[in-house]
Amino acid sequence: GQNIDQPTEMTATEGAIVQINCTYQTSGFNGLFWYQQHAGEAPTFLSYNVLDGLEEKGRFSSFLSRSKGYSYLLLKELQMKDSASYLCAVSDSNYQLIWGAGTKLIIKP
């Protein structure tokens, strides 16, 4: 079967760095996405990785290792507004997105 695993909840301190991991087992791979979702709102796109390596975009970076079925989202200089759920999703062989359950990130002052 297809499976995406990510931690349910993480807590970090304002100004710090946090890494959210995602492991996946899917039938085929056409890229991995990270989305941010604030409570009561729709997800917003953060990053897309289809090749191995690190993609940096401002305070957010995303890493992919296809051989390990592993990705992480790195958030630097955390701000209170970064408190949200972070969803990992993999595009399978049919370009269907398989969603993880999301990681709720709590930022403390």
Partner 1 sequence: GAVVSQHPSRVICKSGTSVKIECRSLDFQATTMFWYRQFPKQSLMLMATSNEGSKATYEQGVEKDKFLINHASLTLSTLTVTSAHPEDSSFYICSARGTSGREEQFFGPGTRLTVL
- Would you tell me which residues interact with partner 1 (CB under 8 A)? 30-31, 33, 35, 40-45, 48, 87, 91, 95-97, 99-102
Whichever of 40 and 58 has its CB closer to partner 1, that residue is 40
Q: CB of 101: closest distance to partner 1 in angstroms?
A: 4
Identify whether the C-beta of residue 19 lies closer than 8 Å to the C-beta of residue 74.
yes
Q: In what order do the strands lie in the sheet with 60-65?
A: 3-5, 18-25, 70-75, 60-65, 53-57
Per DSSP, 82 falls in state: G
Whichever of 3 and 13 has its CB closer to partner 1, that residue is 3
Identify whether the C-beta of residue 87 lies closer than 8 Å to the C-beta of residue 35.
yes
Q: CB of 16: closest distance to partner 1 in angstroms?
A: 25
Whichever of 43 and 69 has its CB closer to partner 1, that residue is 43
- How many Cα atoms sit within 13 Å of 52 on the Cβ side? 6
Q: CB of 58: closest distance to partner 1 in angstroms?
A: 15
Q: CB of 15: closest distance to partner 1 in angstroms?
A: 27
